[in-house]
Amino acid sequence: MDVHMDDHERSLGNRVSAETISSITDRVLPEIQVWRSRPLESVYAIVWTDAIHYKVMDEKNRPVTRAIYNIIGINPDGHKDLLGMYISKSEGANFGLSCLSDIQSRGVKDILIACTDNLTGFSDAIRSVFPETTV
């Protein structure tokens, strides 16, 4: 089921202006950037990778599908952390490699076990960036 802003406006009886959305976005984006670049732990016992597909409007106001890659890790103490969220036009090996390279550049040195539903190219990308990992 696709959800549109018009549906929210009808059900809530409110319209959110483009200016309000821009104002909120302008305040939140710096915090998101800090979160996206934060240092990560050096070792994760388990890491899951998954992609969720959403319909969004592109620059020309056309509906398109985008994939959001999520990388979730559990450290050796059992703490779960969302390591990163990455948006792409589709699943692909090169994009998976860039996601894993990002978490490596932020401090991840080793992953003991990586779980994936075999997103396109992700298993090979994991082996490339973290060669000692069991996939």
pLDDT at res. 22: 84
Count, residues in the chain: 135
pLDDT at res. 91: 60
Give the pTM: 0.78
* Alpha carbon distance 16, 13 (integer Å): 10
Low-confidence ranges of the chain (pLDDT < 50): 1-3
pLDDT at res. 131: 96
**Strand bridging mode 80-88 / 63-74:** antiparallel
* Alpha carbon distance 23, 8 (integer Å): 19
* Alpha carbon distance 15, 2 (integer Å): 19
Beta bridge pairs of residue 68: 52, 87
* Alpha carbon distance 72, 54 (integer Å): 19
pLDDT at res. 1: 43
